[in-house]
Structure 1
Amino acid sequence: MGPMHPAARAEDAFNGALARTLSWRGFRTRVLTYSGYGSTRSARAMGRIVLSRPDAAEQPIDAMHATVLRGIRVFLAAPQTGLPVEITFGAATAKVSSDRGGYFDVDLTGHGLAPGWHHAIVRCAGVEARAPIQVIGDDVGFGIISDIDDTCLVTSLPRMVLAAYNTFVLPETARRVVPGMSALYRSLLAHNPGSPVIYLSTGAWNTQPIINRFLQRHGFPGGALLMTDWGATETAAFRSGREHKRSQLRRLAAELPNIKWLLVGDDGQHDPEIYDEFAAEQPGRVRAIAIRQLTVAQQVLSHGHPLSRDDGRESPTFKVEGADGYALFQQLAALRTLDTGVSHA
């Protein structure tokens, strides 16, 4: 491996100085856990080890802030690098070390647990936390993979000024939901019991507690969040959002080979292109693609100009487009490729 990118070295130096300062001030190790998923054979557990205020270390993550949050707080976390982490899930146990961002992402094979929601126990530096994990049955053949930004909630990304405003200034409770999306997902899962919904986003892991509360408050079904670290990598100053989505889609296809996916995104970034690529790479693994169309005003806010709806590509699978979840539901029902609960008689 070659030398580490200067941006990564600078980030590590900053995080190290921050950790020393917070440790001197009495901050303690805290285990943050994220929702995971898995099959009856293997499960995926994810989380992060950080330094936290002493009075917050024993509180669940959803209780550590007031009802109105300023997003900048969630980025002021000091990761703890190289700490040993032990994860137990049913009969499976794994031992790993937190990476340079404080994260861990581990497979737990041979857990022996039945389909449904269970909890993994995560231990680090004398601290214990529980990580919810959905075990998906071998008989489940349908699942939803959903983008978050401008698909579930209106963010006006990727314009950087607006993105910064939405992330660091806008109160959590003022964020707007995309109409009908939670109803669409609930209806599909009601008619496909045991099916997973995976929220796949290029957003930062730091915002995970805010996103979780938003989804819960607006009635979205529970599911794993697959986000990313906005920091530098060992080879680049910035991580690629597109590659994050591509790699996670391929991993889901490999780990859950029985599932045919409904891919849901928006036309404000690169979801149509990425989803079409995945459908072409994985023939028969995509039931349909559903794209939420941004309004002209939202397109201008996101890109500075309206976008063309037709990019000249022919999708390798069924594709529907609509302004919100209600429009997408009607078109998915008309396609007759999914069990939506709507009679076609």
Structure 2
Amino acid sequence: MVATLEPMESQQFVGTRIDDFITDRVARFLRKRGWREAIIPFTGYGSADHVRVLGRLVLRPVRARSYFGMYAEAFLHQRGWRNFISAPVPRRPVTVKVGDEDLELVTDRSGYIDVTVKGSALEGGWQEVTLSTAEAPDATAPVQVVDSAQQFGLISDIDDTILSTWLPRALLAAWNSFVLTEGNRQAVPGMARMYQKLLAEHPGAPIVYVSTGAWNTMPFLSRFMKRHGFPDGPMLLTDFGPTQTGWFRNGANHKRRALAELARDFPHIKWVLVGDDGQHDPAIYREFAELRPEHVELIAIRRLSSTEQILAHGTATVLRDSADLEWEPSAVTQVSGVDGDDLAPQVWRAIESDQSD
């Protein structure tokens, strides 16, 4: 079976047509210079009856063979700007092997692979699926298969929740994202410890990182999380650039869609939603809790410092908009703190109180 969701050419927004034209010309240029297809596997998730497989097909240069060349390449890849340099391979056949089943699909216009395989019959825990093309070497993508009896899960934002980015002020955002090396990024104190303890108390529970950050930054984020002790888990990121309806993607809608998909895929799980007050996490989480209270255990919000609020908004005051509504009484408990060490005791008390009711 071949799966593709590509729209008809006549339906494409002008921005996507321009983007597709540039992507095609760049790919032709790079192929002539010896760049070859490579699969970047992302971490997926699933349950007893389905798995979601994620990845991307890109063009990459042949790796340097000398010691100096490999050292220089490794150093440059730690510079933020390298995360955003990629050459996607759109509309290319890919084979996804899940257990004994092979699924033929086609990458989307940005080279992404995002497919849900029904009836996967994979055992619970961490498993692997295989992605392959006619040209690229096979790649294995990790998949966390969650037991159907699991009732607890964590959903976490990334920027300013676990990672201090000082975003999104344009100049500082560009400096942090494109210039600084990875070692200069700081983890929010206590967040990794809180996540580790929560998951230790709920063996087999998933943690899913939902962010408006770009997929291009996924390799850096994976290394950052490993270095600072954050638990492994799928990341649901987004892609910068034109869509079928506009020049830029809507980050808030991306989070809303991701939350709805997780509620659908794991109907028995009640999630602890962790975010920050620098953008729209409080409003999006409360909205989700109002619509699906059976899927939300608790909302935990990290309060940005005055300095971080100024960098984010130009004011030390937390901005509110028409979507930032608070209902009385609240559908679920919400707690807040300046970091993980401040949030952790509040989270324990709220969970224990809910379980004792």
TMscore range, shorter length? over 0.9
Q: 1:313 aligns with which of 326, 339, 353?
A: 326
Q: 1:138 aligns with which of 135, 148, 157?
A: 148
How much does 1:166 deviate? 1.1
Q: In structure 1, what is the equivalent of residue 183 of structure 2? A: 173
How much does 1:334 deviate? 2.0
Q: In structure 1, what is the equivalent of residue 69 of structure 2? A: none
Residue 244, structure 1, aligned to residue 254, structure 2: yes
Which structure dedicates a bigger proportion of its chain to helix? 2
Q: 1:299 aligns with which of 281, 306, 309?
A: 309
* Matched AA of 1:158: P
Alignment check: 8 A CA contact 2:76 2:82 kept: no
Residue 116, structure 1, aligned to residue 142, structure 2: no
Q: How does 1:66-85 map to 2 (within 5 A)?
A: 66=75, 69-85=78-94
Q: How does 1:250-269 map to 2 (within 5 A)?
A: 250-269=260-279
Q: In structure 2, what is the equivalent of residue 279 of structure 1? A: 289
Alignment check: 8 A CA contact 1:29 1:125 kept: no
Q: 2:341 aligns with which of 326, 329, 335?
A: 326
The whole-number CA distance in structure 1 between the counterparts of 2:316 and 2:95 is 50
Alignment check: 8 A CA contact 2:77 2:83 kept: no
Residue 206, structure 1, aligned to residue 216, structure 2: yes
Moved more, 153-162 or 194-203: 153-162
Secondary structure of the corresponding residue to residue 78 of structure 1:
coil
Alignment check: 8 A CA contact 2:164 2:188 kept: yes
Provide TM-score, normalisation by structure 1: 0.93
Post-superposition CA distance 1:203-232 (Å, at most 9, x none): 000010001100010000000000001111
Alignment check: 8 A CA contact 1:192 1:339 kept: no
Post-superposition CA distance 1:70-102 (Å, at most 9, x none): 111122211111110111111333211011100
Alignment check: 8 A CA contact 2:297 2:351 kept: no
Secondary structure of the corresponding residue to residue 184 of structure 1:
helix
Q: In structure 2, what is the equivalent of residue 54 of structure 1? A: 62
Q: In structure 1, what is the equivalent of residue 44 of structure 2? A: 36
Secondary structure of the corresponding residue to residue 66 of structure 1:
helix
Q: 1:158 aligns with which of 168, 175, 189?
A: 168
Q: In structure 2, what is the equivalent of residue 60 of structure 1? A: none
* Matched AA of 2:332: T
Post-superposition CA distance 1:180-204 (Å, at most 9, x none): 0000000000000000000000000
Moved more, 185-194 or 160-169: 160-169
Residue 19, structure 1, aligned to residue 27, structure 2: yes
Alignment check: 8 A CA contact 1:91 1:112 kept: no
The whole-number CA distance in structure 2 between the counterparts of 1:67 and 1:193 is 38
The whole-number CA distance in structure 2 between the counterparts of 1:189 and 1:339 is 17
Unmatched runs of 5 consecutive residues or more in structure 1:
58-62
How much does 1:235 deviate? 1.8
Alignment check: 8 A CA contact 2:190 2:339 kept: yes
Alignment check: 8 A CA contact 1:93 1:108 kept: no
Q: CA-atom RMSD, angstroms? A: 2.1
Go from structure 1 to structure 2 and tell me whether the alpha carbon gap of 1:38 and 1:56 turns closer, same or farther (over 3 Å shift).
farther
Post-superposition CA distance 1:38-96 (Å, at most 9, x none): 00110000011010012279xxxxx9733871111122211111110111111333211
* Matched AA of 2:230: F
Go from structure 1 to structure 2 and tell me whether the alpha carbon gap of 1:265 and 1:64 turns closer, same or farther (over 3 Å shift).
farther
The whole-number CA distance in structure 1 between the counterparts of 2:64 and 2:341 is 40
Secondary structure of the corresponding residue to residue 284 of structure 1:
helix
Q: In structure 2, what is the equivalent of residue 192 of structure 1? A: 202
Secondary structure of the corresponding residue to residue 140 of structure 1:
coil
Go from structure 1 to structure 2 and tell me whether the alpha carbon gap of 1:163 and 1:38 turns closer, same or farther (over 3 Å shift).
same
Q: In structure 2, what is the equivalent of residue 231 of structure 1? A: 241
The whole-number CA distance in structure 2 between the counterparts of 1:295 and 1:338 is 29
Identity over aligned residues, as a percent? 45
* Matched AA of 1:18: V
The whole-number CA distance in structure 1 between the counterparts of 2:198 and 2:41 is 27
Q: 2:106 aligns with which of 81, 91, 97?
A: 97
Q: In structure 1, what is the equivalent of residue 4 of structure 2? A: none
Paired residues, number: 336
